[in-house]
Amino acid sequence: MNQDYQMIKVYKKIAGNLVLEFADYQNISRSQVFTIDAGADYKPVPLGFILSMFYMPVTMNAYKNGLWGLDEKDKEKVVARAIELGLYVEDTYGADDLKQPELLYSENQIKSLLQRKRVNEIQEIIEKGTREQKQTLAIIAQENYLDLDTKTIQLIEEGLKISIAESDE
């Protein structure tokens, strides 16, 4: 079987639906839209289509912005095949095109982290999370600030440089 037809799992890293367009790298006119529904975590996509991310700016930007990702094993397969085909050159001087936020926290997971007072994970979102994850953290914290302990509130306020507690004035 041709390795370009090997299925690679594309993971959704945001809440809700995600719509991505990929094309067959051998025939760019053969593009296809892949939808990952709100209830699903991933969608299998043929390797030959994922390789199109290297010349489809919208798809690559969605990857760089942390909207979707690949597990490490699949990422290695994509990079190896892309290098073999001359679609990707590892960047030794600056930011790598395949570097992205690796946090996979959904809105429900962030809510659960706050409820369980998981300070390390909250700190990780503050330091390494996407803009959307930080916004979600701030919104959920503001909505539930009465249920949060002082340490968690202080961590979020200092880390995100916001005020989540309503003033009594």
SS3 state at 8? strand
Q: What is the DSSP string of 72-91?
A: HHHHHHHHHHHHHHTS----
Lowest mean pLDDT among 52-66, 102-116, 139-153, 154-168: 102-116
Whether residues 64 and 11 fall in one domain = yes
Output the pLDDT for position 35: 95
Judged on CB neighbours under 10 Å (0-12, 13-18, 19+), 48 is buried
Q: At residue 103, does pLDDT exceed 80?
A: no
| Residue where one domain finishes, among candidates 39, 55, 85 | 85
Does any domain span residue 98? no
Whether residues 78 and 45 fall in one domain = yes
Does any domain span residue 100? no
> Between β-strands 7-12 and 42-46, what pairing exists: parallel, antiparallel or unpaired?
antiparallel
Q: What angle do CA 124, 127, 132 make, to 5 degrees?
A: 90
Whether residues 9 and 55 fall in one domain = yes
Q: In what order do the strands lie in the sheet with 68-69?
A: 42-46, 7-12, 68-69
Does any domain span residue 149? yes
Does any domain span residue 127? yes
34, β-bridge pairs? 20
Output the pLDDT for position 32: 94
**For residue 14, what is the DSSP state?**
S
Output the pLDDT for position 18: 94
The mean pLDDT value of the chain amounts to 84
pLDDT band at 89 (very low <50, low <70, confident <90, very high): low
Domain count, the chain: 2
Does any domain span residue 94? no
By residue range, what is the domain housing residue 134?
Answer: 107-160
Output the pLDDT for position 83: 86
> Who's near 93: CB < 8 A, 6+ residues apart?
none
| Residue where one domain finishes, among candidates 36, 51, 85 | 85
Is the model more confident about 98 or about 25?
A: 25
